[in-house]
């Protein structure tokens, strides 16, 4: 799914380390026809020589083999990067996703353009009708209500504050003196609430989302952690695609 921030995390790691891959994008639920046969529940899934890596953290670790700079060589900093990456997977990713969906489900044309980016022609053709069925499923699957979305935005703010404090206390990066998997993970998983233009898949443009969402995105972009995430995109992410 082109809009998935966990897929973006894996895609970015593969691009940054020069690992060749072929991305197979599908509409929500259609993607399970490709992930489930190899043992994955959702995206991302990376299949290498018959072995399936079904978690974004495992894909990052695989991409960083052979001395790639995503994971520091210093054991303590490497451990810190991995711990932060997995903490962000748990504490940031689900909440940015829930809040962004809560805003975009009310804008079907905007959401449809994202989910249908670069999918097979037949899926693109049926996307508008398909998403009429899928939108209520998304709401149920991620337990999206006005109250849960508000709580998720509060959790995003809390994580952004923690990240900002860590950046202020360190060397300007989350796990040492240079960009690492921790910074990549933070930037990728924050993408639904920042809408970076260099996102490697498909996110809406700021001007296309509802006014209330625009205001929150601008606020988060202006925060110290938001600026760090956008700097990570500016410095370490070439724009490869998008709608």
**Domains of the chain as residue ranges with CATH:** 5-63 (3.40.30), 75-236 (1.20.1050.10)
Instruction: Determine the pLDDT at residue 239.
Output: 53
- What is the residue-averaged pLDDT of the chain? 93
Instruction: Determine the pLDDT at residue 241.
Output: 45
Q: Residues 141, 31: contact at Cβ < 8 Å?
A: no
Got the DSSP string for 5-16?
A: HHHHHHHHHHHH
> For 15-57, how does the pLDDT look when each residue is reduced to its tens digit (9 = 90+)?
998 889 999 999 999 988 888 888 888 899 999 998 999 999 9
Instruction: Determine the pLDDT at residue 242.
Output: 42
Nearest to 184 by CA among 200, 170, 169: 200
- Whether 243 has a pLDDT exceeding 70, the answer reads no
> For 81-140, how does the pLDDT look when each residue is reduced to its tens digit (9 = 90+)?
999 999 999 999 999 999 999 999 999 999 999 999 999 999 999 999 999 999 999 999
Q: Residues 7, 44: contact at Cβ < 8 Å?
A: yes
Question: What is the Cβ-side half-sphere exposure of residue 41, based on CA atoms within 13 angstroms?
Answer: 3
Q: Residues 31, 43: contact at Cβ < 8 Å?
A: yes
- Whether 186 has a pLDDT exceeding 80, the answer reads yes
Residues 6+ apart with CB under 8 A from 175: 72, 77, 78, 80, 81, 84, 181, 182, 183
Report in angstroms the alpha-carbon separations of 158 from 97, 133, 144, 153.
Answer: 15, 34, 19, 9
């Amino acid at each position: 799914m082109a809009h998935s921030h966990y897929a973006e995390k894996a895609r970015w790691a593969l691009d940054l380390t020069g690992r060749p891959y072929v991305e197979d994008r599908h509409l929500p639920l259609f993607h399970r026809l490709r992930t489930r046969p190899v043992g994955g529940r959702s995206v991302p899934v990376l299949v290498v020589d018959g072995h399936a890596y079904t978690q974004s953290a495992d894909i990052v670790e695989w991409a960083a083999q052979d001395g790639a700079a995503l994971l520091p060589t210093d054991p303590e900093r490497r451990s810190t990067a991995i711990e932060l990456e997995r903490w962000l997977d748990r504490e940031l990713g689900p909440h940015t996703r829930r809040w962004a969906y809560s805003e975009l489900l009310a804008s079907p044309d905007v959401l449809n353009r994202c989910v249908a980016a670069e999918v097979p022609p037949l899926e693109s053709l049926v996307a508008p009708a398909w998403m009429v069925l899928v939108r209520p499923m998304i709401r149920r699957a991620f337990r999206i209500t006005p109250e849960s979305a508000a709580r998720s935005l509060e959790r995003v703010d809390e994580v952004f504050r923690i990240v900002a404090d860590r950046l202020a206390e360190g060397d300007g990066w989350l796990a040492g003196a240079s960009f690492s998997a921790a910074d990549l993970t933070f930037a990728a998983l924050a993408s639904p609430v920042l809408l970076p233009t260099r996102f490697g898949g498909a996110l809406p443009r700021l001007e296309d989302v509802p006014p209330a969402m625009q205001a929150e995105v601008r606020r988060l972009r202006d925060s110290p952690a938001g600026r760090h995430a956008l700097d990570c995109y500016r410095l370490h992410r070439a724009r490869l695609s998008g709608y």
